[in-house]
Structure 1
Amino acid sequence: MEIDAGRFTVRLARDEIDIAGAQRLRYRVFVEELGASAKDNERALRREIDEYDAHFEHLVLIDNESASDDPLDRVAGAYRLMTRERARAGIGFYGATEYDLGKLERLDREVVELGRSCVGAEVRGGAAMHLLWTGLGEYVTARGIEIMFGVASFHGADPEPLAHALSLLHHNHLAPEDLRVRALEESYTEMNRMPAEAVDRKLATRQIPALIKAYLRLGGSVGEGAFVDHDFNTVDVCLLMDTTRMVARYRDFYGREKGA
Protein backbone atom coordinates (compact mmCIF):
# COMPACT_ATOMS: atom_id res chain seq x y z
CA MET A 1 0.00 0.00 0.00
CA GLU A 2 1.44 3.35 -1.06
CA ILE A 3 -0.10 6.76 -1.71
CA ASP A 4 1.96 9.38 -3.54
CA ALA A 5 0.71 12.93 -3.08
CA GLY A 6 3.40 15.29 -4.33
CA ARG A 7 5.39 16.38 -1.31
CA PHE A 8 4.23 13.41 0.78
CA THR A 9 4.15 9.64 0.44
CA VAL A 10 2.12 7.44 2.79
CA ARG A 11 3.06 3.76 3.13
CA LEU A 12 3.79 1.00 5.58
CA ALA A 13 7.34 1.08 6.92
CA ARG A 14 9.67 -0.86 4.65
CA ASP A 15 12.74 -1.19 6.83
CA GLU A 16 14.43 -0.28 10.09
CA ILE A 17 15.17 3.23 8.81
CA ASP A 18 11.45 3.92 8.42
CA ILE A 19 10.72 2.58 11.90
CA ALA A 20 13.59 4.56 13.41
CA GLY A 21 12.22 7.64 11.66
CA ALA A 22 8.83 7.08 13.26
CA GLN A 23 10.54 6.71 16.64
CA ARG A 24 12.48 9.95 16.06
CA LEU A 25 9.24 11.78 15.26
CA ARG A 26 7.59 10.34 18.37
CA TYR A 27 10.52 11.54 20.47
CA ARG A 28 10.19 15.06 19.09
CA VAL A 29 6.43 15.16 19.71
CA PHE A 30 5.93 13.16 22.90
CA VAL A 31 9.17 13.86 24.78
CA GLU A 32 10.42 17.23 23.55
CA GLU A 33 7.03 18.89 22.98
CA LEU A 34 4.73 17.20 25.48
CA GLY A 35 7.08 16.27 28.31
CA ALA A 36 6.94 12.46 28.34
CA SER A 37 9.71 10.75 30.26
CA ALA A 38 12.54 9.07 28.35
CA LYS A 39 15.20 6.50 29.18
CA ASP A 40 18.89 7.25 28.78
CA ASN A 41 19.16 5.27 25.54
CA GLU A 42 16.15 7.09 24.10
CA ARG A 43 17.72 10.47 24.90
CA ALA A 44 21.01 9.40 23.35
CA LEU A 45 19.28 8.28 20.15
CA ARG A 46 16.50 10.90 20.24
CA ARG A 47 14.02 8.12 19.56
CA GLU A 48 10.95 7.06 21.58
CA ILE A 49 11.16 3.26 21.72
CA ASP A 50 9.31 0.46 23.46
CA GLU A 51 9.09 -3.32 23.36
CA TYR A 52 5.88 -3.19 21.30
CA ASP A 53 7.46 -1.58 18.24
CA ALA A 54 8.74 -4.85 16.83
CA HIS A 55 5.22 -6.30 16.84
CA PHE A 56 3.34 -3.39 15.26
CA GLU A 57 3.17 -2.40 11.63
CA HIS A 58 4.10 1.25 11.17
CA LEU A 59 2.22 3.57 8.83
CA VAL A 60 4.50 6.47 7.92
CA LEU A 61 4.11 9.80 6.17
CA ILE A 62 7.32 10.57 4.27
CA ASP A 63 8.19 14.21 3.57
CA ASN A 64 9.85 14.06 0.17
CA GLU A 65 10.91 17.71 0.50
CA SER A 66 12.49 17.47 3.94
CA ALA A 67 15.31 19.98 4.38
CA SER A 68 17.23 17.59 6.65
CA ASP A 69 20.02 15.33 5.41
CA ASP A 70 19.16 12.79 8.12
CA PRO A 71 16.85 10.11 6.62
CA LEU A 72 15.15 9.69 10.01
CA ASP A 73 13.85 13.25 9.77
CA ARG A 74 11.96 12.45 6.56
CA VAL A 75 9.18 10.77 8.60
CA ALA A 76 6.69 13.58 9.23
CA GLY A 77 3.74 11.52 10.45
CA ALA A 78 3.18 8.08 11.93
CA TYR A 79 0.71 5.54 13.28
CA ARG A 80 1.41 2.10 14.58
CA LEU A 81 -1.08 -0.64 13.77
CA MET A 82 -1.62 -4.07 15.30
CA THR A 83 -4.19 -6.58 14.12
CA ARG A 84 -5.60 -9.11 16.56
CA GLU A 85 -3.71 -11.85 14.70
CA ARG A 86 -0.38 -10.08 15.26
CA ALA A 87 -1.28 -9.36 18.89
CA ARG A 88 -2.04 -13.02 19.59
CA ALA A 89 1.13 -14.17 17.84
CA GLY A 90 3.32 -11.74 19.73
CA ILE A 91 3.24 -9.49 22.76
CA GLY A 92 -0.49 -8.67 22.84
CA PHE A 93 -2.21 -5.32 22.48
CA TYR A 94 -0.54 -2.25 23.99
CA GLY A 95 -3.95 -1.06 25.19
CA ALA A 96 -4.22 -4.12 27.44
CA THR A 97 -1.77 -2.40 29.80
CA GLU A 98 -4.49 0.19 30.50
CA TYR A 99 -7.85 -1.43 29.64
CA ASP A 100 -9.57 -4.80 29.93
CA LEU A 101 -9.91 -5.66 26.24
CA GLY A 102 -11.79 -8.92 26.77
CA LYS A 103 -14.84 -7.74 24.82
CA LEU A 104 -12.70 -6.96 21.78
CA GLU A 105 -10.77 -10.21 22.09
CA ARG A 106 -14.01 -12.20 21.98
CA LEU A 107 -15.56 -10.40 19.00
CA ASP A 108 -16.03 -12.41 15.83
CA ARG A 109 -14.94 -9.37 13.81
CA GLU A 110 -11.60 -8.10 12.53
CA VAL A 111 -9.94 -5.67 14.94
CA VAL A 112 -6.94 -3.33 14.70
CA GLU A 113 -5.27 -1.27 17.42
CA LEU A 114 -4.10 2.24 16.52
CA GLY A 115 -1.39 3.92 18.52
CA ARG A 116 1.35 6.54 18.77
CA SER A 117 -0.40 8.79 16.27
CA CYS A 118 1.60 11.95 15.65
CA VAL A 119 2.44 14.55 13.01
CA GLY A 120 5.45 16.83 13.04
CA ALA A 121 4.86 20.45 14.04
CA GLU A 122 6.18 21.69 10.70
CA VAL A 123 3.37 20.00 8.71
CA ARG A 124 0.44 20.26 11.12
CA GLY A 125 -2.67 22.00 9.94
CA GLY A 126 -2.31 20.91 6.33
CA ALA A 127 -2.94 17.73 4.41
CA ALA A 128 -0.65 15.52 6.50
CA MET A 129 -3.22 14.07 8.90
CA HIS A 130 -5.77 13.60 6.14
CA LEU A 131 -3.20 11.65 4.10
CA LEU A 132 -2.41 9.44 7.09
CA TRP A 133 -6.12 8.75 7.52
CA THR A 134 -6.44 7.95 3.83
CA GLY A 135 -3.60 5.46 4.22
CA LEU A 136 -5.31 4.04 7.28
CA GLY A 137 -8.49 3.68 5.25
CA GLU A 138 -6.71 1.65 2.58
CA TYR A 139 -5.15 -0.55 5.26
CA VAL A 140 -8.50 -1.15 6.97
CA THR A 141 -10.33 -1.84 3.72
CA ALA A 142 -7.71 -4.26 2.42
CA ARG A 143 -7.89 -6.34 5.61
CA GLY A 144 -11.64 -6.25 6.13
CA ILE A 145 -11.24 -4.59 9.54
CA GLU A 146 -14.47 -3.52 11.26
CA ILE A 147 -13.28 -2.33 14.68
CA MET A 148 -10.53 0.20 15.27
CA PHE A 149 -9.46 1.15 18.78
CA GLY A 150 -6.61 2.71 20.69
CA VAL A 151 -5.77 4.93 23.62
CA ALA A 152 -5.83 8.67 22.98
CA SER A 153 -4.46 11.29 25.29
CA PHE A 154 -5.16 14.56 27.02
CA HIS A 155 -1.99 16.47 27.86
CA GLY A 156 -1.24 16.56 31.58
CA ALA A 157 -1.49 13.80 34.17
CA ASP A 158 -4.11 15.42 36.44
CA PRO A 159 -7.71 14.52 35.52
CA GLU A 160 -9.33 17.16 37.73
CA PRO A 161 -8.76 20.14 35.38
CA LEU A 162 -10.28 17.98 32.64
CA ALA A 163 -13.47 17.30 34.60
CA HIS A 164 -15.77 18.96 32.06
CA ALA A 165 -14.24 17.19 29.06
CA LEU A 166 -14.12 13.77 30.69
CA SER A 167 -17.67 14.12 31.96
CA LEU A 168 -18.89 15.15 28.52
CA LEU A 169 -17.28 12.04 27.01
CA HIS A 170 -18.86 9.86 29.70
CA HIS A 171 -22.37 11.27 29.34
CA ASN A 172 -22.45 11.65 25.55
CA HIS A 173 -19.95 9.33 23.91
CA LEU A 174 -19.76 6.03 25.79
CA ALA A 175 -19.28 3.06 23.48
CA PRO A 176 -22.11 0.59 22.86
CA GLU A 177 -22.19 -2.14 25.48
CA ASP A 178 -20.66 -4.75 23.17
CA LEU A 179 -17.57 -2.57 22.66
CA ARG A 180 -17.40 -0.80 26.04
CA VAL A 181 -14.00 -1.77 27.36
CA ARG A 182 -13.18 -0.65 30.90
CA ALA A 183 -10.00 0.78 32.43
CA LEU A 184 -8.19 -1.76 34.59
CA GLU A 185 -9.47 -1.67 38.16
CA GLU A 186 -6.06 -1.02 39.73
CA SER A 187 -5.69 2.17 37.70
CA TYR A 188 -9.32 3.11 37.00
CA THR A 189 -9.92 6.88 36.92
CA GLU A 190 -13.52 8.06 36.96
CA MET A 191 -14.64 10.05 33.91
CA ASN A 192 -18.08 10.81 35.37
CA ARG A 193 -16.83 13.73 37.45
CA MET A 194 -20.00 15.84 37.43
CA PRO A 195 -23.68 15.54 36.42
CA ALA A 196 -24.44 16.03 32.74
CA GLU A 197 -26.36 19.25 33.43
CA ALA A 198 -23.32 20.77 35.16
CA VAL A 199 -20.97 20.28 32.21
CA ASP A 200 -19.84 23.46 30.46
CA ARG A 201 -19.98 22.16 26.91
CA LYS A 202 -17.95 25.01 25.43
CA LEU A 203 -15.17 24.51 27.95
CA ALA A 204 -15.31 20.75 27.50
CA THR A 205 -15.06 21.09 23.74
CA ARG A 206 -12.04 23.37 24.06
CA GLN A 207 -10.35 20.85 26.35
CA ILE A 208 -10.80 17.85 24.06
CA PRO A 209 -7.77 17.39 21.76
CA ALA A 210 -8.35 17.79 18.03
CA LEU A 211 -7.62 14.14 17.25
CA ILE A 212 -10.21 12.90 19.76
CA LYS A 213 -12.78 15.35 18.40
CA ALA A 214 -12.09 14.11 14.88
CA TYR A 215 -12.75 10.50 15.90
CA LEU A 216 -15.96 11.52 17.64
CA ARG A 217 -17.16 13.34 14.51
CA LEU A 218 -16.56 10.10 12.61
CA GLY A 219 -18.90 8.27 14.96
CA GLY A 220 -16.27 7.13 17.45
CA SER A 221 -16.95 6.46 21.11
CA VAL A 222 -14.99 5.88 24.31
CA GLY A 223 -14.56 3.10 26.81
CA GLU A 224 -15.47 3.37 30.48
CA GLY A 225 -12.98 5.09 32.74
CA ALA A 226 -9.71 6.86 32.04
CA PHE A 227 -6.09 5.95 32.72
CA VAL A 228 -3.47 8.36 34.10
CA ASP A 229 -0.12 7.76 32.39
CA HIS A 230 2.51 9.51 34.48
CA ASP A 231 5.36 8.41 32.20
CA PHE A 232 3.76 10.13 29.22
CA ASN A 233 2.26 12.99 31.28
CA THR A 234 -1.23 12.25 29.94
CA VAL A 235 -4.75 11.22 30.84
CA ASP A 236 -5.78 8.48 28.41
CA VAL A 237 -9.17 7.40 27.15
CA CYS A 238 -9.85 4.39 24.94
CA LEU A 239 -11.37 5.38 21.61
CA LEU A 240 -13.34 2.83 19.62
CA MET A 241 -14.65 2.97 16.08
CA ASP A 242 -17.11 0.52 14.56
CA THR A 243 -16.77 1.13 10.84
CA THR A 244 -20.28 -0.17 10.23
CA ARG A 245 -21.64 2.58 12.52
CA MET A 246 -19.57 5.42 11.11
CA VAL A 247 -21.25 8.64 10.12
CA ALA A 248 -21.74 8.21 6.37
CA ARG A 249 -20.63 11.68 5.32
CA TYR A 250 -17.19 11.15 6.88
CA ARG A 251 -16.43 7.69 5.54
CA ASP A 252 -14.14 9.01 2.83
CA PHE A 253 -11.61 9.92 5.53
CA TYR A 254 -11.03 6.21 6.05
CA GLY A 255 -11.14 4.81 2.56
CA ARG A 256 -11.72 5.35 -1.10
CA GLU A 257 -13.68 2.19 -1.71
CA LYS A 258 -16.61 2.92 -4.00
CA GLY A 259 -19.97 2.71 -2.27
CA ALA A 260 -18.35 2.62 1.21
Structure 2
Amino acid sequence: MRIEAGRFTVRLAESDADVAAAQRLRYRVFVEEMGAHASPEEHEARCERDEFDPYFDHLLLIDNEAASEDPMDKVAGAYRLMTGDMARRGIGFYGASEYDLGRLVDYPRETLELGRSCVSAEHRGGAGMHLLWTGLGQYVAERNVEIMFGVASFHGADVAPLAQPLSHLHYNHLAPEDLRVRALPEHFTAMDILPPDEVNRAEALRLIPALIKAYLRLGGFVGEGAYVDRDFNTVDVCLLMDTSRMVQRYRSFYSRADRGSAARVLG
Protein backbone atom coordinates (compact mmCIF):
# COMPACT_ATOMS: atom_id res chain seq x y z
CA MET A 1 0.00 0.00 0.00
CA ARG A 2 1.13 3.54 -0.69
CA ILE A 3 -0.68 6.87 -0.30
CA GLU A 4 0.82 10.14 -1.52
CA ALA A 5 -0.66 13.50 -0.51
CA GLY A 6 1.28 16.75 -0.58
CA ARG A 7 4.46 16.47 1.48
CA PHE A 8 3.47 13.14 3.01
CA THR A 9 3.68 9.47 2.08
CA VAL A 10 1.97 6.69 4.02
CA ARG A 11 3.18 3.12 3.45
CA LEU A 12 4.20 -0.04 5.27
CA ALA A 13 7.82 -0.50 6.33
CA GLU A 14 9.75 -2.34 3.63
CA SER A 15 13.13 -2.86 5.30
CA ASP A 16 14.97 -3.03 8.60
CA ALA A 17 15.97 0.59 8.04
CA ASP A 18 12.30 1.59 7.83
CA VAL A 19 11.56 -0.19 11.12
CA ALA A 20 14.58 1.48 12.74
CA ALA A 21 13.25 4.88 11.65
CA ALA A 22 9.92 4.09 13.32
CA GLN A 23 11.82 3.03 16.44
CA ARG A 24 13.71 6.35 16.39
CA LEU A 25 10.41 8.25 16.38
CA ARG A 26 9.12 6.05 19.20
CA TYR A 27 12.26 6.87 21.21
CA ARG A 28 11.71 10.61 20.76
CA VAL A 29 8.04 10.40 21.77
CA PHE A 30 7.95 7.70 24.45
CA VAL A 31 11.39 8.05 26.05
CA GLU A 32 12.40 11.68 25.55
CA GLU A 33 8.93 13.25 25.80
CA MET A 34 7.03 10.88 28.08
CA GLY A 35 9.79 9.50 30.28
CA ALA A 36 9.49 5.81 29.40
CA HIS A 37 12.21 3.47 30.62
CA ALA A 38 14.80 2.45 28.03
CA SER A 39 17.73 0.05 28.17
CA PRO A 40 21.32 1.29 27.78
CA GLU A 41 21.32 -0.20 24.27
CA GLU A 42 18.16 1.71 23.35
CA HIS A 43 19.62 4.96 24.68
CA GLU A 44 22.79 4.43 22.69
CA ALA A 45 20.89 3.73 19.46
CA ARG A 46 18.15 6.28 20.29
CA CYS A 47 15.59 3.64 19.27
CA GLU A 48 12.70 2.25 21.35
CA ARG A 49 12.25 -1.43 20.45
CA ASP A 50 11.20 -4.81 21.81
CA GLU A 51 10.96 -8.48 20.89
CA PHE A 52 7.54 -7.98 19.27
CA ASP A 53 8.75 -5.65 16.50
CA PRO A 54 9.74 -8.37 13.98
CA TYR A 55 6.22 -9.85 14.12
CA PHE A 56 4.29 -6.65 13.39
CA ASP A 57 3.62 -4.67 10.25
CA HIS A 58 4.80 -1.08 10.72
CA LEU A 59 2.67 1.65 9.14
CA LEU A 60 4.72 4.81 8.50
CA LEU A 61 3.87 8.45 7.92
CA ILE A 62 6.85 9.93 6.05
CA ASP A 63 7.44 13.68 5.85
CA ASN A 64 9.20 14.14 2.52
CA GLU A 65 9.93 17.79 3.37
CA ALA A 66 11.43 17.19 6.80
CA ALA A 67 14.25 19.59 7.65
CA SER A 68 16.69 16.74 8.29
CA GLU A 69 18.14 14.84 5.35
CA ASP A 70 18.65 11.77 7.55
CA PRO A 71 16.06 9.11 6.55
CA MET A 72 15.84 8.16 10.23
CA ASP A 73 14.31 11.57 10.94
CA LYS A 74 11.75 11.58 8.13
CA VAL A 75 9.25 9.21 9.77
CA ALA A 76 6.71 11.54 11.41
CA GLY A 77 4.15 8.95 12.50
CA ALA A 78 3.95 5.22 13.08
CA TYR A 79 1.65 2.35 14.06
CA ARG A 80 2.43 -1.28 14.84
CA LEU A 81 -0.20 -3.57 13.31
CA MET A 82 -0.84 -7.26 13.95
CA THR A 83 -3.83 -9.22 12.65
CA GLY A 84 -5.24 -12.15 14.58
CA ASP A 85 -3.87 -14.48 11.92
CA MET A 86 -0.38 -12.99 12.34
CA ALA A 87 -0.64 -13.35 16.14
CA ARG A 88 -1.60 -17.02 15.92
CA ARG A 89 1.30 -17.74 13.58
CA GLY A 90 3.83 -15.71 15.57
CA ILE A 91 4.44 -14.39 19.04
CA GLY A 92 0.85 -13.58 20.00
CA PHE A 93 -0.72 -10.23 20.85
CA TYR A 94 1.39 -7.69 22.73
CA GLY A 95 -1.62 -6.62 24.82
CA ALA A 96 -1.93 -10.11 26.33
CA SER A 97 0.68 -9.03 28.91
CA GLU A 98 -1.85 -6.51 30.26
CA TYR A 99 -5.32 -7.86 29.39
CA ASP A 100 -7.05 -11.21 29.09
CA LEU A 101 -7.59 -11.25 25.31
CA GLY A 102 -9.12 -14.72 25.10
CA ARG A 103 -12.32 -13.38 23.54
CA LEU A 104 -10.34 -11.72 20.77
CA VAL A 105 -7.93 -14.59 20.19
CA ASP A 106 -10.93 -16.86 19.57
CA TYR A 107 -12.97 -14.25 17.69
CA PRO A 108 -14.48 -15.86 14.56
CA ARG A 109 -13.58 -12.97 12.22
CA GLU A 110 -10.40 -11.01 11.62
CA THR A 111 -9.08 -8.76 14.37
CA LEU A 112 -6.27 -6.21 14.41
CA GLU A 113 -4.09 -5.09 17.30
CA LEU A 114 -2.71 -1.55 17.16
CA GLY A 115 0.33 -0.59 19.17
CA ARG A 116 3.09 1.96 19.65
CA SER A 117 1.05 4.64 17.89
CA CYS A 118 2.86 7.97 17.84
CA VAL A 119 3.13 11.15 15.79
CA SER A 120 5.88 13.74 16.04
CA ALA A 121 4.89 16.85 18.00
CA GLU A 122 4.81 19.16 14.99
CA HIS A 123 2.31 16.98 13.12
CA ARG A 124 -0.17 16.10 15.87
CA GLY A 125 -3.71 17.02 14.96
CA GLY A 126 -2.78 18.11 11.43
CA ALA A 127 -2.98 16.75 7.91
CA GLY A 128 -0.32 14.11 8.48
CA MET A 129 -2.17 12.53 11.36
CA HIS A 130 -5.37 12.34 9.32
CA LEU A 131 -3.45 10.76 6.44
CA LEU A 132 -1.99 8.14 8.79
CA TRP A 133 -5.53 7.24 9.82
CA THR A 134 -6.48 6.99 6.15
CA GLY A 135 -3.66 4.50 5.64
CA LEU A 136 -4.89 2.54 8.65
CA GLY A 137 -8.36 2.48 7.08
CA GLN A 138 -6.91 1.05 3.86
CA TYR A 139 -5.03 -1.63 5.79
CA VAL A 140 -8.23 -2.59 7.64
CA ALA A 141 -10.32 -2.67 4.45
CA GLU A 142 -7.83 -4.78 2.50
CA ARG A 143 -7.69 -7.42 5.25
CA ASN A 144 -11.40 -7.47 6.11
CA VAL A 145 -10.68 -6.60 9.73
CA GLU A 146 -13.85 -6.35 11.81
CA ILE A 147 -12.54 -5.63 15.32
CA MET A 148 -9.62 -3.32 16.03
CA PHE A 149 -8.11 -3.01 19.50
CA GLY A 150 -5.07 -1.92 21.42
CA VAL A 151 -3.89 -0.28 24.61
CA ALA A 152 -3.98 3.52 24.72
CA SER A 153 -2.30 5.59 27.37
CA PHE A 154 -2.71 8.44 29.79
CA HIS A 155 0.60 10.11 30.63
CA GLY A 156 1.83 9.44 34.16
CA ALA A 157 1.63 6.32 36.31
CA ASP A 158 -0.57 7.78 39.09
CA VAL A 159 -4.24 6.83 38.87
CA ALA A 160 -5.53 9.42 41.38
CA PRO A 161 -5.38 12.47 39.01
CA LEU A 162 -7.22 10.38 36.39
CA ALA A 163 -10.28 9.62 38.53
CA GLN A 164 -12.55 11.77 36.38
CA PRO A 165 -11.60 10.44 32.90
CA LEU A 166 -11.30 6.80 33.97
CA SER A 167 -14.66 6.89 35.73
CA HIS A 168 -16.25 8.58 32.71
CA LEU A 169 -14.90 5.88 30.39
CA HIS A 170 -16.14 3.11 32.68
CA TYR A 171 -19.67 4.44 33.01
CA ASN A 172 -20.18 5.66 29.44
CA HIS A 173 -17.96 3.64 27.10
CA LEU A 174 -17.59 0.14 28.54
CA ALA A 175 -17.44 -2.51 25.80
CA PRO A 176 -20.39 -4.86 25.31
CA GLU A 177 -20.09 -8.12 27.21
CA ASP A 178 -19.00 -10.24 24.24
CA LEU A 179 -15.98 -7.95 23.61
CA ARG A 180 -15.28 -6.82 27.18
CA VAL A 181 -11.66 -7.76 27.74
CA ARG A 182 -10.46 -7.36 31.31
CA ALA A 183 -7.13 -6.32 32.81
CA LEU A 184 -5.23 -9.30 34.17
CA PRO A 185 -6.02 -9.92 37.87
CA GLU A 186 -2.48 -9.24 39.07
CA HIS A 187 -2.51 -5.83 37.36
CA PHE A 188 -6.21 -4.90 37.56
CA THR A 189 -6.90 -1.27 38.53
CA ALA A 190 -10.57 -0.36 38.88
CA MET A 191 -11.76 2.49 36.67
CA ASP A 192 -15.01 3.28 38.51
CA ILE A 193 -13.07 5.36 41.02
CA LEU A 194 -15.81 7.95 41.53
CA PRO A 195 -19.55 7.32 41.93
CA PRO A 196 -21.53 8.26 38.79
CA ASP A 197 -22.98 11.45 40.28
CA GLU A 198 -19.50 12.83 40.97
CA VAL A 199 -18.22 12.49 37.40
CA ASN A 200 -17.88 15.85 35.65
CA ARG A 201 -18.18 15.13 31.94
CA ALA A 202 -16.46 18.35 30.80
CA GLU A 203 -13.51 17.82 33.14
CA ALA A 204 -13.26 14.16 32.16
CA LEU A 205 -13.18 14.96 28.45
CA ARG A 206 -10.57 17.65 29.00
CA LEU A 207 -8.24 15.05 30.51
CA ILE A 208 -8.80 12.28 27.95
CA PRO A 209 -5.97 12.21 25.36
CA ALA A 210 -6.89 13.21 21.81
CA LEU A 211 -6.20 9.74 20.39
CA ILE A 212 -8.60 8.07 22.83
CA LYS A 213 -11.28 10.67 22.06
CA ALA A 214 -10.80 10.02 18.34
CA TYR A 215 -11.51 6.31 18.83
CA LEU A 216 -14.56 7.10 20.95
CA ARG A 217 -15.93 9.39 18.21
CA LEU A 218 -15.67 6.42 15.84
CA GLY A 219 -17.78 4.31 18.18
CA GLY A 220 -14.98 2.83 20.27
CA PHE A 221 -15.32 1.15 23.67
CA VAL A 222 -12.96 0.39 26.53
CA GLY A 223 -12.27 -2.88 28.30
CA GLU A 224 -12.75 -3.31 32.02
CA GLY A 225 -9.97 -2.14 34.29
CA ALA A 226 -6.84 -0.08 33.69
CA TYR A 227 -3.20 -1.17 33.70
CA VAL A 228 -0.45 0.93 35.29
CA ASP A 229 2.66 0.63 33.11
CA ARG A 230 5.51 1.97 35.22
CA ASP A 231 8.14 1.24 32.56
CA PHE A 232 6.34 3.55 30.13
CA ASN A 233 5.12 5.98 32.82
CA THR A 234 1.50 5.56 31.69
CA VAL A 235 -1.92 4.34 32.75
CA ASP A 236 -3.31 2.17 29.96
CA VAL A 237 -6.86 1.36 28.90
CA CYS A 238 -7.78 -1.19 26.24
CA LEU A 239 -9.72 0.34 23.36
CA LEU A 240 -11.88 -1.74 21.03
CA MET A 241 -13.70 -0.68 17.89
CA ASP A 242 -15.91 -2.10 15.18
CA THR A 243 -14.00 -1.05 12.06
CA SER A 244 -16.96 -0.39 9.75
CA ARG A 245 -16.96 3.34 10.49
CA MET A 246 -13.21 3.69 9.86
CA VAL A 247 -13.54 1.83 6.55
CA GLN A 248 -16.33 4.21 5.53
CA ARG A 249 -14.03 7.17 6.25
CA TYR A 250 -11.24 5.59 4.17
CA ARG A 251 -13.60 5.01 1.22
CA SER A 252 -14.95 8.54 1.58
CA PHE A 253 -11.40 9.91 1.38
CA TYR A 254 -10.76 8.13 -1.89
CA SER A 255 -14.09 9.07 -3.45
CA ARG A 256 -13.31 12.74 -2.73
CA ALA A 257 -9.66 12.42 -3.73
CA ASP A 258 -10.78 11.07 -7.09
CA ARG A 259 -12.70 14.32 -7.55
CA GLY A 260 -9.55 16.33 -6.85
CA SER A 261 -10.34 17.41 -3.31
CA ALA A 262 -7.70 15.53 -1.35
CA ALA A 263 -6.28 18.80 -0.02
CA ARG A 264 -9.61 19.66 1.63
CA VAL A 265 -9.95 16.18 3.12
CA LEU A 266 -6.53 16.54 4.69
CA GLY A 267 -7.39 19.91 6.25
Q: TM-score, normalised by structure 1?
A: 0.95
Following superposition, the deviation at residue 82 of structure 1 comes to 0.2
Distance 1:156 1:253 in 2: 32
Match in the other structure for 1:151: 151
Query: 1:211: which partner in 2?
Result: 211
Q: Which whole-Å deviations, capped at 9, do the CAs of 1:37-79 have from their partners, x for residues lacking one?
A: 1100000000001000000000000110111121110100000
3-state SS in 1 of match to 2:47: coil
Structure 2 residue aligned with 1:84: 84
- In the TM superposition, what is the alpha-carbon distance from 1:253 to its structure 2 partner? 3.6
Partner of 1:118: 118
1:101 aligns with 2:101: yes
Amino acid at match of 2:197: E
Three-state SS of the structure 1 residue aligned to 2:174 is coil
Contact 2:140/2:243 (<8 A) preserved: no
More displaced, 62-71 or 170-179?
62-71
SS state of the match for residue 114, structure 2?
strand
**1:166-221: per-residue Cα shift (whole Å, max 9, x none)?**
00000000001111000000000000101111101111111100000010011000
One-letter code aligned to 2:109: R
Q: Contact conserved, 1:136 with 1:255, CA < 8 A, in 2?
A: no
Task: Specify the code of the residue in structure 1 equivalent to 2:70.
Answer: D
Alignment: residue pair count: 254
Counterpart secondary structure, 1:36? coil
Cα offsets for 1:8-56 (capped at 9, x unmatched): 0000001111100100000000000011011000000000010000000
RMSD (CA atoms): 1.3
Report percent identity of matched pairs: 68
What is the alpha-carbon distance in structure 2 between the residues aligned to residue 254 and residue 106 of structure 1? 27
C-alpha displacement at 1:254, in angstroms?
4.2
> What displacement does 1:252 show?
4.3
Deviation at 1:128, TM superposition (A): 1.2
Q: Secondary structure at the match of 1:66?
A: coil
Structure 1: state its 5+ residue gaps.
Answer: none
Letter aligned with residue 41 of structure 1: E
**Which amino acid in 1 is paired with 2:55?**
H
Q: Which runs of 5+ in 2 are unaligned?
A: 256-267
